[in-house]
Amino acid sequence: MPQIELEGRIIQTDDEGYLVDPGDWTAEVAEELARREGVALNALHWNVLHFMRRSFAERQIAPDARFVVKHLAEEQGLGANARKRLFELFPYGYVKQACKIAGMRRPRAWSTG
């Protein structure tokens, strides 16, 4: 099974690189997942990732992209540019990159935005 090795700790991933156990997520794991995706994390990336983690902690499921867009529009003041900005932050898609870097299991069969 694929894995991430950080500071002597082994973290299991599935064949697509998503965490098997979202509880293994840390900032260091996020940095490694982002590196593998070719994403250099900035403050807005971290804001999205932390929003996703809070939502996951409350519901035990990855938030749909529309909730992240709403967060960016309302909480971060991006308004009508929020959806576009989300996909600039994660150019290969919300599920492919944002969910993976946030430590979610791969979402199945729901809207990506």
Q: Residue ranges per domain, the chain?
A: 3-101
pLDDT tens digits, one per residue of 28-84: 999 999 999 999 999 999 999 999 999 999 998 899 999 999 999 999 999 999 999
Q: Tell me the three state secondary structure of residue 13.
A: strand
Whether 99 and 106 have beta carbons less than 8 Å apart is answered as yes
∠ CA 99-65-61 to the nearest 5 degrees? 55
**Is pTM, for the whole model, over 0.75?**
yes
Tokens of 63: 């938030």
What's the CA gap between 45 and 29, in Å, rounded?
14
Tokens of 71: 């967060």
Which run of H or of E encompasses 11? Answer: strand 9-12
What's the CA gap between 84 and 97, in Å, rounded?
15
pLDDT of residue 111: 46
